[in-house]
Structure formats: structure tokens, C-alpha cells
Structure 1
Amino acid sequence: MAQHGFLPRMQAYFFDLDGCIYHGDRLSAGVVPLLDRLRQQGLSYVFLTNNSRLGAAEIGSRLEAMGLTVPDDRILPVTDIAGKYLRDKYGKLSVKTIGSDSLARNIAEAGHTPIAWDAPGADVVIVGRDTEFHYNKLQRIAADIGHGSRLIATNPDRYHPGQFGERVPETGSLLAAIEAVTGKTAECIGKPEPYMFEQAMQLCGAAPDSCVMVGDNLETDIRGSRQAGLRSVWITNGSAPGPAAEGGAEVLESRSSAAGFAPSGPARPDVVVNDMEELYQLVMQG
């Protein structure tokens, strides 16, 4: 059977956003007809994103401006699940949010007590992509962690691709400084950890073996989906070393390391394609 022979059996498709559905403010070719095809077949899809700055409604508006209309309940950013994650695992907490207003709002709406970044102490310091991060915040966070605050990050990504392929600093780049100062390793919420995948499967009412994750990030999308028991499609954006599903694990590990990640086993996708247009053609063949 062809490598992509499992695709017709999938009940739910999970898509990453940055570098997959869009690049900057430009939709990827093939996205609109692919989603139309899935809808025609009665299949579920959800956008899973480690974007920790925007909520589902904000992302939906951004997609609308690009020409893609998606219901808010089909968009699952780490921004919108962070507060629930903390409550599910630890109960209600005092939380210092280092990140966007949307992330802070979600934390508060989940019933946690917000603490200003420059105030002393909190049960948890949660770190997202903070575009106003600075030295004094780093020093204050280090003091909080030193006094017992738990360090939690929305996601480990060190950067995401911009519209022209440039590297846009992400949560992980800030987290690297915090971990270097404190000597602590953060607990992460988003991909590759299982929580986001589990939330998406519950949303779709689907089991792991009937779901496929489509993404461009080996460490978060591909490794995370593999660990959660899902199938996966790697979107290489033209940089593929060859068909990874036929034994390219060593090359993939090297590529994962070069991106600044610490490999913890093969991040081997089931299918490798150059772009979303190529995936659309595979789905049409099925």
C-alpha cells in the first residue's frame, strides 16, 4: 500500500497554522480546496497552534482577511486552553502571565487569580510569546522561581517562520533565558505535549488512530502526534531530504537538532510532502 494509503480512513485532520495553513499573511496554495474536500467527505478538522498571543476569534479574523472562513470552534490555540490546563491539573492558582493580553484574559476567565509581573510571588509563572520581554522581567521571574513559583510555558517553539521564511522569535527563545538563569526546566502545555492533541480529539469525538496531524515542525507537530498515537504528515515547504517514512529518521533528527531542539527519539512522519497543494492531490487520489 502507498505511504499515504491510510488517509482515506482518517476521521479528523489536525493542521498547524504558521508555515502550514499560512505563511505570514498569505494562505498556502491548496488549503481552500483541501478543506472543501474534507467538508464534502464529512470529515472533521481542527487547527492546532502553539500561537500564544491570539485567541480563536482573533485567529479567525486573521484567516477571514486572507480569504478563509473558519468557525471559531475549529481553531484551538494554546492561548485558549492554558487556563483550563492549569485548572485541570492544579486547581485554581495565583498566576503571573508573561505574554499577551489574550493569554492573561484566558487565565483569568478560567478562575485563576492574576498577579502583575512586577509584583512579588505567584503560584505559577506562565510564559508565552511576550513581545515586550525585557531584562527586568527576566530578573523578576528568576526571583519568583527562586522563591518557589512553578515555571510553565505555553509552548517550546524557539521561532516560527515569517512570510518570507525569516525566523520570528517564539516562546522557547525567551524560555531559554529563563531556564538558563533559574536552572529549572519549564512544564509545557502545547505541542508536542499531549494535552492539545487530547482536547482536539475530544472536540472531534475521534480516537488517536483515526486522526492525522499535518504540520511543518518536526519537534512539535510530528514528534507530538507520534507520541499521542496519531498519524502525521510533514509539510517541508520545499526543504525535504527525501521520503522520511522510508527510513529518513537520522536525517530528520539532524534537522530537528539544527532547529534548536533536543531529540528524544525519531520524529518520523508517515508522509512527507512539499506543501499543502501536494497534500491536496494525495487526498484527492484517496
Structure 2
Amino acid sequence: MNKGFLIDMDGVVYRGSELIAGAVEFIDRLVERKIPFMFLTNNSQRTPIDIATRLQRLGFKVSAEHVYTSAMATASYLAHQNPQGTAYVIGEGGLLTALNGEGYAVVDSNPDYVVIGEGRTMTLENMEKAVQMVADGARLIATNLDPSCPTQDGGVRPGCGAYVRTIEEATGFKAFSPGKPSPVIFREARKQLDLRSGETIMIGDTMETDILGAVQLGYTGILVLSGGTQEMDLRKFAYKPDYVVQSVANIDDKMLEVLLSDDKD
């Protein structure tokens, strides 16, 4: 059976601007053994080539084909729901590029959807505009519902979910998000690797997104403790990962053999 990996980034292969020890060597092993893998991120700001370039500068032997974002999942979802539709977008280049790539027009009035992504483009003016559009019938989409996201200096800032919650409260309408932990992004990324559910292994540092998504889709879930989750936190959840390791450095050749031979189906 073929096996492959979906891999979160922040907290898994780097933390802020700092490379996590052993991450480059782990990805090198996957490349050398021709094991399929893809980085899976809820950040919709940047395009795959932007993300791949950052990873390359950290020492990873990857390309844009190794990256799948919540922006891509959102654009794919909308293209299936309403081909050639229109969207009012509050977001950055990664989201705009993904939507245009699926034939979506970005408009300033009468959109089919209001799409909110990560970034620093939110203003009171465009928030008010988005609220009115949703009240008038546009459907509300969020690339992800993370209430906060990390900054390069190790801090934190409001995330897409925080912005979307404001619009939800103002309009009474709930947003749909194709990003993690939605099955949409996990399924689309798996298809990109040409894998079945039982052949897919998710590595992440967050129980609420990475591991929950893996559990819901029947993927093998590996929680790394190099990010935001500590081992004592596991008792808070009614689901659990298949494996818990300190970091990807602990996924050595021996553990890889176990993962690649384990038949989750």
C-alpha cells in the first residue's frame, strides 16, 4: 500500500522564524525515499510558490507542488458549489490568486459570496461592507476559523476566525469554512497526493485542527509537541492522535517503517 504525509508547518517544521531541529532531515528522508508529502496550512495569505520559497530558504528541498493552503481549498470548494461565481474578498494575494485560478471574479458589489481570509487588510470600512453584503444575501465563507495566528516574532495577532465572528454576530449568519479541520481541505489535499484515506498520515501540532481533521477522515494522526499542544492537554479532548512524539525528529527510519506498513483500512 502507498502511504503519504500531510504536514502542518508552524509548530511542526518551524516555529515563528526558527527552524525546528530535525525537520529538514525528516523531509530529506521523505524526498530520498520518494514518499509523497504535502504541507497543509490554514494560512491563506501567501501563494504556494511564496511558501515554498520560504521553506527552501530554511533548507527544505520542496517546490510549490508540495504546498496546499486553505485559500486553495476555499477556491476549489466555491468552484464546485457555484462555477464562475463572484466574490467580495477581504484577504491577501494567496486567496486572490487561488480564486482567480478557479475562474472566480473578485467584485465590489452584489457578490455571490463574501470571502474572508488571513491578513492585515481588514478595516472598519470593508468590515461594514461585508456585513451589508451578507445581510443582503451574499453567503459568508471563511478560509479558516482560527481565532488567532502566530507572528514572525513569536507573538500572536487576530486570525480569520476573529474577523469572521464579528460578521456572524452582526448578521446572524454563520460562515462556512473549507479550511482545517473541515473535511474539505483534508480531502482535497489527499486527492492531490493520489492517496486513499487509510494511506494518509497527518502530522500536526494542534488538536483542534490537525488531529481533529485526521480523526474525522480516518487518517493516521501524529501529534508533535513542538508547537502549541502539550501532552497534558490531551485529556481535554474526546479524541486522540494515533501517535504522540516530541517533534518530527523522532520520526526516524524505524518509525517510518511502522507507519508505512500499518494498514489503517
TM-score by length of 1: 0.83
**Which residue in the other structure is 2:26 paired with?**
34
What 5-or-longer segments of structure 2 have no aligned partner? 259-265
Q: Distance in 1 between matches of 2:107 and 2:135?
A: 17
CA separation of 1:38/1:139 partners in 2, compared to 1, >3 Å: closer, same or farther?
Answer: same
- Output the aligned Cα RMSD: 2.1
Partner SS state of residue 251, structure 2: helix
CA separation of 1:284/1:207 partners in 2, compared to 1, >3 Å: closer, same or farther?
Answer: closer
Partner SS state of residue 206, structure 1: coil
C-alpha contact 1:30 1:280 (8 A) present in aligned 2: no
Deviation at 1:188, TM superposition (A): 0.5
Deviation at 1:231, TM superposition (A): 1.0
Q: Which amino acid aligns with 1:197?
A: F
Give the 5 Å matches for 1:174-253.
174-237=163-226, 239-242=229-232, 248=234, 251-253=235-237
C-alpha contact 2:8 2:39 (8 A) present in aligned 1: yes
CA separation of 1:285/1:211 partners in 2, compared to 1, >3 Å: closer, same or farther?
Answer: closer
**Which residue in the other structure is 2:243 paired with?**
271
CA separation of 1:62/1:171 partners in 2, compared to 1, >3 Å: closer, same or farther?
Answer: same
**Which residue in the other structure is 1:76 paired with?**
68
Matched, 1:101 2:93: yes
What 5-or-longer segments of structure 1 have no aligned partner? 1-8, 254-265
Q: Which amino acid aligns with 2:236?
A: L
C-alpha contact 1:157 1:173 (8 A) present in aligned 2: yes
Matched, 1:55 2:47: yes
Q: Distance in 2 between matches of 1:137 and 1:176?
A: 15
Deviation at 1:186, TM superposition (A): 0.5
Q: Which amino acid aligns with 2:205?
A: D
CA separation of 1:252/1:281 partners in 2, compared to 1, >3 Å: closer, same or farther?
Answer: farther
Partner SS state of residue 121, structure 1: coil
C-alpha contact 1:33 1:280 (8 A) present in aligned 2: no
Q: Distance in 1 between matches of 2:206 and 2:6?
A: 13
C-alpha contact 1:157 1:172 (8 A) present in aligned 2: yes
The C-alpha deviation readout for 1:234-277, integer Å capped at 9, x for no partner, is 122275235x8xxx4xx233xxxxxxxxxxxx341111122222
**Which residue in the other structure is 1:283 paired with?**
255
TM-score by length of 2: 0.89
Deviation at 1:227, TM superposition (A): 0.6
Give the 5 Å matches for 1:17-166.
17-116=9-108, 120-163=109-152, 165-166=154-155
Aligned-residue identity in percent: 28
**Which residue in the other structure is 1:259 paired with?**
none
Deviation at 1:26, TM superposition (A): 2.2
Q: Which amino acid aligns with 1:84?
A: S
Q: Which amino acid aligns with 2:111?
A: A
C-alpha contact 1:18 1:160 (8 A) present in aligned 2: no
The C-alpha deviation readout for 1:158-209, integer Å capped at 9, x for no partner, is 1233456432322111112111211211010111111222122222221111
C-alpha contact 1:14 1:47 (8 A) present in aligned 2: yes
C-alpha contact 1:215 1:222 (8 A) present in aligned 2: yes
Report the count of equivalent residues: 257
CA separation of 1:201/1:102 partners in 2, compared to 1, >3 Å: closer, same or farther?
Answer: closer
CA separation of 1:10/1:33 partners in 2, compared to 1, >3 Å: closer, same or farther?
Answer: farther
Deviation at 1:130, TM superposition (A): 3.1
